[in-house]
Amino acid sequence: MSDRLTQLQVCLDQLVEQFNATVNYVNTNCENALLDDDPMSVSNLAAAAPLPGQQQQATPAGSNRQTNAANSVSNQPTAHAEAETNFENTISELSTDLILKSRQITMLIDSLPGIGVAPETQFEMLQKLSKELQDVEKERKEKIKEKDQLLKKCEHLIVQLSNGILTTRN
């Protein structure tokens, strides 16, 4: 398992991806609403304008997506209600996922060392850990020397054994 900072970074990346997916879902599946009460206002006309590179719809200038949506609703009320229920359920699920990921991030942040500890205490802890690391490193070097000595002793014994076998065969 990775350390807490790496876990926190992964969770933050996942949260950004979830935000992006949620906004993308809302943008692609939500019906557009009027920006103000007048359907002929500049802001509503600008919002309903096609994006560059897209074909302009063959509808009158005063109509917008809501008018088209209203016509389709009158033609298929059950399909629209089902789609709206599906949209609401999906939004609820996406919201729950965002909340859970936020709570997970909060728990990771709360578990980080140093929260609620004075800087002096942290500094003393770092010094203690540094001393402990130096001691462990010194012990490691001693064990490496001991290993090398034992290896030389084993090599010497193997050479003696092979010499003894060689002299008995001669």
Name the nearest CA neighbour of 102 among 7, 6, 11.
11
Report residue 34: phi and psi, to 5°: -70, 140
- pTM > 0.95: no
The three-state DSSP-derived secondary structure of the chain is CCCHHHHHHHHHHHHHHHHHHHHHHHHHHCCCCCCCCCCCCHHHHHHHCCCCCCCCCCCCCCCCHHHHHHHHHHHCHHHHHHHHHHHHHHHHHHHHHHHHHHHHHHHHHHCCCCCCCCHHHHHHHHHHHHHHHHHHHHHHHHHHHHHHHHHHHHHHHHHHHHHHHHHHHC
Only one residue has tokens 């690391």, namely 133
pLDDT at position 68, please? 52
Per-residue pLDDT in tens (0 to 9) along the chain, 170 residues: 468 889 999 999 999 999 999 999 988 888 777 777 887 888 878 777 776 766 655 444 444 445 554 454 455 678 777 888 898 999 999 999 999 999 999 999 888 877 677 888 888 988 999 999 999 999 999 999 999 999 999 999 999 999 998 888 87
**What pLDDT score does 58 carry?**
46
The pLDDT score that the predictor gives to residue 102 is 95
Query: What distance in Å separates the CA atoms of residue 166 and residue 160, rounded to the nearest whole number?
Result: 10
